[in-house]
Protein backbone atom coordinates (compact mmCIF):
# COMPACT_ATOMS: atom_id res chain seq x y z
CA UNK A 1 0.00 0.00 0.00
CA UNK A 2 1.45 3.36 -0.96
CA UNK A 3 0.49 6.79 0.22
CA UNK A 4 -2.00 8.83 -1.88
CA UNK A 5 -0.45 9.92 -5.17
CA UNK A 6 1.24 13.29 -4.90
CA UNK A 7 1.48 13.19 -1.12
CA UNK A 8 5.07 13.23 0.08
CA UNK A 9 4.15 13.98 3.68
CA UNK A 10 0.99 14.01 5.73
CA UNK A 11 -0.07 14.00 9.36
CA UNK A 12 0.52 10.53 10.78
CA UNK A 13 -2.75 9.07 12.00
CA UNK A 14 -1.13 7.71 15.15
CA UNK A 15 1.67 10.01 16.33
CA UNK A 16 0.09 13.13 14.70
CA UNK A 17 3.47 14.25 13.38
CA UNK A 18 3.84 15.63 9.86
CA UNK A 19 5.92 12.89 8.22
CA UNK A 20 6.12 10.76 5.07
CA UNK A 21 3.41 8.11 5.43
CA UNK A 22 3.53 5.03 3.24
CA UNK A 23 1.18 2.50 4.82
CA UNK A 24 -2.29 2.31 6.34
CA UNK A 25 -2.74 0.94 9.85
CA UNK A 26 -6.29 0.66 11.20
CA UNK A 27 -7.54 2.79 8.34
CA UNK A 28 -5.10 5.67 8.74
CA UNK A 29 -1.90 6.62 6.95
CA UNK A 30 1.01 6.30 9.34
CA UNK A 31 4.72 7.09 9.32
CA UNK A 32 7.50 4.53 9.24
CA UNK A 33 8.19 4.98 12.95
CA UNK A 34 4.64 4.00 13.82
CA UNK A 35 4.76 1.10 11.36
CA UNK A 36 7.79 -0.25 13.23
CA UNK A 37 6.04 0.33 16.54
CA UNK A 38 3.06 -1.75 15.40
CA UNK A 39 5.32 -4.48 14.02
CA UNK A 40 7.07 -4.80 17.37
CA UNK A 41 3.82 -5.04 19.34
CA UNK A 42 1.86 -8.01 17.95
CA UNK A 43 -1.18 -9.31 19.78
CA UNK A 44 -3.61 -12.24 19.63
CA UNK A 45 -5.80 -11.91 16.57
CA UNK A 46 -9.54 -12.20 17.43
CA UNK A 47 -10.09 -14.14 14.22
CA UNK A 48 -7.36 -16.80 14.06
CA UNK A 49 -5.96 -16.51 17.59
CA UNK A 50 -2.40 -16.20 16.30
CA UNK A 51 0.11 -13.67 17.57
CA UNK A 52 -0.07 -11.18 14.70
CA UNK A 53 0.26 -7.52 13.80
CA UNK A 54 -3.28 -6.19 14.25
CA UNK A 55 -3.16 -3.47 11.61
CA UNK A 56 -6.54 -3.98 9.96
CA UNK A 57 -10.21 -3.95 10.97
CA UNK A 58 -12.30 -7.06 10.49
CA UNK A 59 -16.01 -7.09 9.64
CA UNK A 60 -16.85 -6.38 13.29
CA UNK A 61 -14.44 -3.41 13.42
CA UNK A 62 -11.99 -5.31 15.60
CA UNK A 63 -8.22 -4.87 15.04
CA UNK A 64 -7.17 -8.10 13.32
CA UNK A 65 -4.40 -9.58 11.17
CA UNK A 66 -4.02 -9.33 7.41
CA UNK A 67 -5.04 -12.93 6.79
CA UNK A 68 -8.34 -12.58 8.63
CA UNK A 69 -9.26 -9.34 6.88
CA UNK A 70 -8.40 -10.23 3.29
CA UNK A 71 -5.22 -8.17 3.02
CA UNK A 72 -1.77 -9.09 1.77
CA UNK A 73 0.48 -10.47 4.55
CA UNK A 74 2.75 -7.41 4.51
CA UNK A 75 3.92 -7.98 8.09
CA UNK A 76 4.59 -11.71 7.77
CA UNK A 77 8.02 -13.28 7.39
CA UNK A 78 8.20 -14.44 3.75
CA UNK A 79 9.97 -17.63 4.86
CA UNK A 80 7.74 -18.89 7.68
CA UNK A 81 4.79 -16.49 7.91
CA UNK A 82 5.19 -15.52 11.57
CA UNK A 83 4.62 -11.91 12.61
CA UNK A 84 5.66 -11.90 16.25
CA UNK A 85 9.45 -11.55 15.93
CA UNK A 86 10.38 -8.96 13.28
CA UNK A 87 13.98 -8.54 12.22
CA UNK A 88 14.26 -6.68 8.94
CA UNK A 89 12.30 -8.30 6.13
CA UNK A 90 12.33 -11.72 7.76
CA UNK A 91 11.59 -12.76 11.33
CA UNK A 92 14.24 -13.10 14.00
CA UNK A 93 14.32 -16.93 14.07
CA UNK A 94 14.64 -17.26 10.28
CA UNK A 95 17.37 -14.61 10.15
CA UNK A 96 19.17 -16.29 13.02
CA UNK A 97 18.95 -19.70 11.37
CA UNK A 98 20.48 -18.31 8.19
CA UNK A 99 23.31 -16.52 9.97
CA UNK A 100 24.11 -19.49 12.21
CA UNK A 101 24.20 -21.77 9.20
CA UNK A 102 26.69 -19.47 7.48
CA UNK A 103 28.76 -19.16 10.66
CA UNK A 104 28.91 -22.86 11.59
CA UNK A 105 29.06 -24.45 8.17
CA UNK A 106 32.03 -26.68 7.35
CA UNK A 107 33.67 -26.63 3.90
CA UNK A 108 30.88 -28.88 2.58
CA UNK A 109 28.28 -26.23 3.46
CA UNK A 110 26.67 -28.25 6.25
CA UNK A 111 26.76 -27.51 9.98
CA UNK A 112 30.02 -28.87 11.37
CA UNK A 113 29.01 -32.05 13.26
CA UNK A 114 30.92 -31.09 16.41
CA UNK A 115 29.29 -27.66 16.44
CA UNK A 116 25.72 -28.89 15.96
CA UNK A 117 25.02 -28.43 19.72
CA UNK A 118 26.02 -24.76 19.37
CA UNK A 119 23.65 -24.31 16.43
CA UNK A 120 20.78 -25.96 18.31
CA UNK A 121 21.35 -24.04 21.56
CA UNK A 122 21.69 -20.61 19.97
CA UNK A 123 18.70 -21.16 17.71
CA UNK A 124 16.55 -22.23 20.68
CA UNK A 125 17.31 -19.10 22.72
CA UNK A 126 14.32 -17.08 23.97
CA UNK A 127 15.35 -13.87 22.18
CA UNK A 128 16.80 -14.38 18.69
CA UNK A 129 17.42 -10.64 18.36
CA UNK A 130 19.87 -10.77 21.27
CA UNK A 131 21.80 -13.61 19.66
CA UNK A 132 21.79 -11.82 16.30
CA UNK A 133 23.25 -8.73 17.97
CA UNK A 134 26.00 -10.89 19.48
CA UNK A 135 26.78 -12.39 16.08
CA UNK A 136 27.19 -8.94 14.51
CA UNK A 137 29.71 -7.72 17.10
CA UNK A 138 33.26 -8.49 16.01
CA UNK A 139 34.42 -7.87 19.59
CA UNK A 140 32.25 -10.80 20.75
CA UNK A 141 34.52 -13.12 18.73
CA UNK A 142 31.99 -15.22 16.78
CA UNK A 143 34.86 -15.62 14.31
CA UNK A 144 36.28 -18.29 16.63
CA UNK A 145 33.27 -20.49 15.86
CA UNK A 146 33.55 -19.75 12.15
CA UNK A 147 37.23 -20.68 12.07
CA UNK A 148 36.52 -23.90 13.97
CA UNK A 149 33.73 -24.82 11.57
CA UNK A 150 36.03 -24.29 8.59
CA UNK A 151 38.83 -26.32 10.09
CA UNK A 152 41.10 -23.28 10.47
CA UNK A 153 41.13 -23.59 14.27
CA UNK A 154 41.15 -26.79 16.28
CA UNK A 155 38.08 -27.46 18.42
CA UNK A 156 40.01 -27.92 21.64
CA UNK A 157 41.02 -26.25 24.88
CA UNK A 158 44.54 -25.97 23.50
CA UNK A 159 43.25 -23.67 20.75
CA UNK A 160 41.85 -21.31 23.38
CA UNK A 161 45.10 -21.40 25.33
CA UNK A 162 46.74 -19.78 22.31
CA UNK A 163 44.14 -16.98 22.14
CA UNK A 164 44.00 -13.81 24.26
CA UNK A 165 42.32 -14.52 27.58
CA UNK A 166 39.75 -11.74 27.36
CA UNK A 167 36.07 -11.84 28.28
CA UNK A 168 34.81 -12.56 24.75
CA UNK A 169 37.18 -15.48 24.19
CA UNK A 170 36.40 -16.90 27.62
CA UNK A 171 32.67 -16.67 26.89
CA UNK A 172 32.99 -18.73 23.70
CA UNK A 173 35.14 -21.29 25.48
CA UNK A 174 32.71 -21.57 28.39
CA UNK A 175 29.82 -21.91 25.92
CA UNK A 176 31.49 -24.83 24.13
CA UNK A 177 32.31 -26.54 27.43
CA UNK A 178 28.76 -26.06 28.74
CA UNK A 179 27.31 -27.63 25.59
CA UNK A 180 29.67 -30.60 25.71
CA UNK A 181 31.58 -29.59 22.58
CA UNK A 182 34.70 -29.29 24.75
CA UNK A 183 35.45 -31.43 27.81
CA UNK A 184 34.65 -29.92 31.23
CA UNK A 185 37.40 -27.72 32.63
CA UNK A 186 38.15 -25.42 35.53
CA UNK A 187 38.06 -21.90 34.02
CA UNK A 188 39.84 -20.24 36.95
CA UNK A 189 42.75 -22.68 36.58
CA UNK A 190 43.07 -22.74 32.79
CA UNK A 191 42.91 -18.97 32.52
CA UNK A 192 46.22 -18.86 34.32
CA UNK A 193 47.84 -20.26 31.15
CA UNK A 194 47.39 -17.24 28.84
CA UNK A 195 48.05 -14.91 31.77
CA UNK A 196 51.29 -16.80 32.42
CA UNK A 197 52.24 -16.52 28.77
CA UNK A 198 51.91 -12.74 29.01
CA UNK A 199 54.11 -12.68 32.11
CA UNK A 200 56.79 -14.83 30.47
CA UNK A 201 57.06 -12.62 27.39
CA UNK A 202 58.21 -9.74 29.60
CA UNK A 203 60.99 -11.70 31.32
CA UNK A 204 64.54 -12.53 30.28
CA UNK A 205 64.70 -15.87 28.51
CA UNK A 206 66.52 -17.66 31.33
CA UNK A 207 64.00 -16.43 33.87
CA UNK A 208 61.03 -17.30 31.66
CA UNK A 209 62.20 -20.88 31.24
CA UNK A 210 62.57 -21.42 34.99
CA UNK A 211 59.22 -19.87 35.86
CA UNK A 212 57.43 -21.71 33.07
CA UNK A 213 58.62 -25.06 34.42
CA UNK A 214 57.81 -24.05 38.00
CA UNK A 215 54.31 -22.90 37.08
CA UNK A 216 53.35 -25.81 34.84
CA UNK A 217 54.89 -28.72 36.70
CA UNK A 218 54.16 -27.60 40.23
CA UNK A 219 51.47 -24.95 40.52
CA UNK A 220 49.23 -25.81 37.56
CA UNK A 221 49.67 -29.55 38.02
CA UNK A 222 48.49 -29.30 41.62
CA UNK A 223 45.53 -27.08 40.71
CA UNK A 224 44.42 -29.46 37.98
CA UNK A 225 44.55 -32.40 40.35
CA UNK A 226 42.38 -30.41 42.76
CA UNK A 227 40.01 -29.51 39.89
CA UNK A 228 39.46 -33.18 39.15
CA UNK A 229 38.12 -33.51 42.69
CA UNK A 230 36.22 -30.21 42.49
CA UNK A 231 38.37 -28.74 45.25
CA UNK A 232 39.78 -25.66 43.53
CA UNK A 233 39.25 -22.49 45.56
CA UNK A 234 39.61 -18.87 44.65
CA UNK A 235 42.31 -18.55 47.27
CA UNK A 236 44.26 -21.43 45.73
CA UNK A 237 44.20 -19.79 42.30
CA UNK A 238 45.25 -16.44 43.74
CA UNK A 239 48.08 -18.14 45.62
CA UNK A 240 49.34 -19.71 42.37
CA UNK A 241 49.33 -16.36 40.57
CA UNK A 242 51.09 -14.69 43.50
CA UNK A 243 53.71 -17.47 43.57
CA UNK A 244 54.46 -16.89 39.89
CA UNK A 245 54.82 -13.14 40.41
CA UNK A 246 56.94 -13.75 43.49
CA UNK A 247 59.24 -16.10 41.58
CA UNK A 248 59.74 -13.50 38.87
CA UNK A 249 60.54 -10.88 41.50
CA UNK A 250 62.99 -13.19 43.23
CA UNK A 251 64.90 -13.95 40.02
CA UNK A 252 65.08 -10.27 39.21
CA UNK A 253 66.43 -9.56 42.70
CA UNK A 254 69.10 -12.24 42.26
CA UNK A 255 70.22 -10.53 39.05
CA UNK A 256 70.50 -7.26 40.94
CA UNK A 257 72.70 -9.04 43.51
CA UNK A 258 74.85 -10.42 40.68
CA UNK A 259 74.09 -14.00 41.69
CA UNK A 260 71.95 -16.96 40.59
CA UNK A 261 69.77 -19.64 42.14
CA UNK A 262 72.73 -22.02 42.11
CA UNK A 263 75.16 -19.61 43.78
CA UNK A 264 72.94 -17.65 46.17
CA UNK A 265 74.01 -17.91 49.81
CA UNK A 266 71.85 -18.40 52.88
CA UNK A 267 72.65 -14.86 53.96
CA UNK A 268 71.38 -13.49 50.65
CA UNK A 269 68.17 -15.49 50.94
CA UNK A 270 67.61 -14.07 54.41
CA UNK A 271 68.25 -10.56 53.09
CA UNK A 272 65.64 -11.13 50.41
CA UNK A 273 63.04 -12.24 52.95
CA UNK A 274 63.74 -9.13 55.00
CA UNK A 275 63.29 -6.90 51.94
CA UNK A 276 60.18 -8.74 50.70
CA UNK A 277 58.40 -10.34 53.66
CA UNK A 278 55.09 -10.81 51.80
CA UNK A 279 54.11 -12.07 48.40
CA UNK A 280 53.27 -8.64 47.06
CA UNK A 281 53.46 -7.93 43.36
CA UNK A 282 56.23 -8.44 40.90
| End-to-end C-alpha distance for the chain, whole angstroms | 70
State the number of CA atoms in the 13 A half-sphere of 63 facing the CB: 14
**pLDDT single digits (tens) 226-278:** 888 888 888 999 999 999 999 999 999 999 989 888 888 898 888 888 888 76
The 3 state secondary structure assigned to 61-76 is: CCEECHHHHCCCCCCC
Rounded CA separation 281/278 (Å): 9
43 backbone dihedrals φ, ψ, rounded to 5° = -145, 170
Nearest to 26 by CA among 68, 56, 59, 5: 56
pLDDT of residue 6: 43
Q: Please, what sign has the CA dihedral across residues 251, 190, 281, 242?
A: negative
Lowest mean per-residue pLDDT among 85-89, 98-102, 196-200 = 85-89
Which residues share a beta bridge with 186?
A: none
Nearest to 65 by CA among 49, 77, 88, 80: 49
Rounded CA separation 216/218 (Å): 6
Rounded CA separation 44/216 (Å): 60
**pLDDT single digits (tens) 178-228:** 999 999 888 888 888 888 988 999 999 999 999 999 999 999 999 989 888
Give the pLDDT band of residue 9 (cuts 50, 70, 90). confident
Instruction: Considering only CA atoms, give the Rg of the chain.
Output: 30
pLDDT of residue 246: 92
Query: Which is more confidently placed, 167 or 1?
Result: 167
212 backbone dihedrals φ, ψ, rounded to 5° = -60, -45
Rounded CA separation 214/107 (Å): 42
pTM of the model: 0.70
Rounded CA separation 23/3 (Å): 6
Query: Which is more confidently placed, 53 or 227?
Result: 53
Give the pLDDT band of residue 115 (cuts 50, 70, 90). very high
Amino acid sequence: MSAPRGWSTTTCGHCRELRPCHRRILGQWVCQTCVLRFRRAPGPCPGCGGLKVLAFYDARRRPACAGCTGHDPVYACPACGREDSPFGRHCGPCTLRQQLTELLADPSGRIHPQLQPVFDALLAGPRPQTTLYWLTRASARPDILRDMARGELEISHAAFDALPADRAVNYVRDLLAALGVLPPYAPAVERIVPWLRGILTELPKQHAELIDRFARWQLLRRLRLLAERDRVTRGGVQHARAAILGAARFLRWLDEQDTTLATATQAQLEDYLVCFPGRGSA
